[in-house]
Structure 1
Amino acid sequence: MHPVIAKTFGGLSLSYYARNFIFGLIFPALFMLMQSQTARPTSIGMMAFLVISTLLYPYSRFVYESIVSFVMGENIFLINSIVMLLTKLLTMLLCWAFAIFIAPVGLVYLYFYHSKQQAMHK
């Protein structure tokens, strides 16, 4: 595997990627379910968007979780579970829908992080 690809797309652990990928499948599945109720076929452009957003979602979510972790630190908030779940679903939808714009930030970070780690171990 090319080093750039290994440091970026291979930069997340397989378990983290798989977990978030599975959660990312919620949105294209819902879209396809709603689309199946109409007479219009799904366009190639929309299918490409669904696939790209789903594949990039774990990297987008990584960026979001990194920012939230940085801002919140080790604080714990006690809130209503319904509010928390709705907020989580909304942030998941936003990370999925804008993955094509957010994920490159995570990929660049992973590249530099793994390059630095590699240089430290030489």
Structure 2
Amino acid sequence: MTDFINKTFKGLTASYYIRQLVFGAAIGFALVFLMSGGFKNITVGLIIFAIISTLLYPYSRFVYESIVNFIFGNNVFFVNAIWLLAVKFVTMSMCWAGAIGIAPIGLVYLYFYHTKNNTNL
């Protein structure tokens, strides 16, 4: 069981996981604030959803970035900064909202990747 946890949940680098966790927490905080009317009508379900989505967000984002990297490769695009930030915010929000469904894909990939490479974390 420890091997499974090491190959999946510890499969991302600590710096990547913490960076994505900070962004996920910010999105979760903003969503809870907006959905509860400024923290006036907070429900337990909303809090649980926000916590789970925040913890799984780094794995969801890993899946998204892997797909984008596969499609675009090492190409560089020059675009308007405001447009880039808007698209970034939308994709981050989508990854956060869908983290419960998307993250298992990343966890399975990490498990097989670390099993294949025989790396023990």
What TM-score, normalized by structure 1, do the two folds share? 0.91
Distance 2:20 2:51 in 1: 14
Distance 2:7 2:68 in 1: 23
Distance 2:80 2:90 in 1: 16
Quick check: 2:33–2:39 contact (8 Å CA) kept in 1? no
* Rg comparison, structure with higher value: 1
The RMSD of aligned alpha carbons is: 1.7
Distance 1:115 1:38 in 2: 44
Number of aligned residue pairs: 119
Moved over 4 A (4+): none
Matches within 5 A, 1:5-44: 5-34=5-34, 35=36, 37=38, 39-40=40-41, 42-44=42-44
Unaligned runs of 5+ in 2: none
Specify the code of the residue in structure 2 equivalent to 1:37: G
Distance 1:28 1:53 in 2: 8
Q: Percent identity?
A: 50
Deviation per residue, 1:98-121 (Å, 9 max, x gap): 0000000000000000001117x9
What TM-score, normalized by structure 2, do the two folds share? 0.92
Shift of 1:31: 2.4
Unaligned runs of 5+ in 1: none
Shift of 1:33: 2.8
